[in-house]
């Protein structure tokens, strides 16, 4: 896979300009261009990881940072008390459409309960 054509890699390399909500040495966060909730933010690692299946012990700090950043953004957006959802899709049957590991932070209204 050529990740230079991947939209997230293009955002990180500044070939595509977007409003960065948060960025540090490990992760970057920005608004989803097709939001599914009033607040829909994507949090990505700054290094290419294709799917959740491709993580290993070297990625622990990055994955922890992604969750910490999600919590910080939820507080900043004032959805931490009402609640929010964190979603990571993996591969086709898991509804992953961009093959670059990313986390969705969704909030601002009650989501649909997908568990039966």
Spatial distance between the Cα atoms of 53 and 113, rounded to a whole number of angstroms: 25
Radius of gyration of the chain (CA): 14
**Bridging pattern class, strands 39-45 and 20-23:** unpaired
The CA-based dihedral angle spanning residues 94, 92, 89, 26, taken in that order and rounded to the nearest 10 degrees? 160
Spatial distance between the Cα atoms of 77 and 12, rounded to a whole number of angstroms: 23
102 is known as an active-site residue:
yes
**Catalytic hit among 40, 57, 59, 102:** 102
Active site residues: 102
């Amino acid at each position: 896979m050529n990740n230079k054509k991947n939209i997230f890699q293009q955002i990180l390399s500044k070939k595509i300009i977007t409003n960065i909500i948060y960025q540090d040495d490990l992760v970057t966060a920005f608004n989803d261009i097709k939001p599914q909730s009033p607040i829909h933010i994507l949090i990505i690692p700054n290094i290419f990881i294709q799917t959740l299946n491709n993580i290993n012990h070297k990625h622990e700090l990055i994955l922890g940072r992604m969750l910490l950043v999600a919590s910080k953004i939820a507080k900043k957006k004032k959805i931490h008390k009402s609640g929010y959802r964190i979603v990571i899709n993996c591969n086709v049957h898991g509804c992953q459409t961009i093959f670059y590991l990313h986390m969705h932070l969704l909030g601002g209204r009650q989501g649909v309960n997908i568990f039966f």
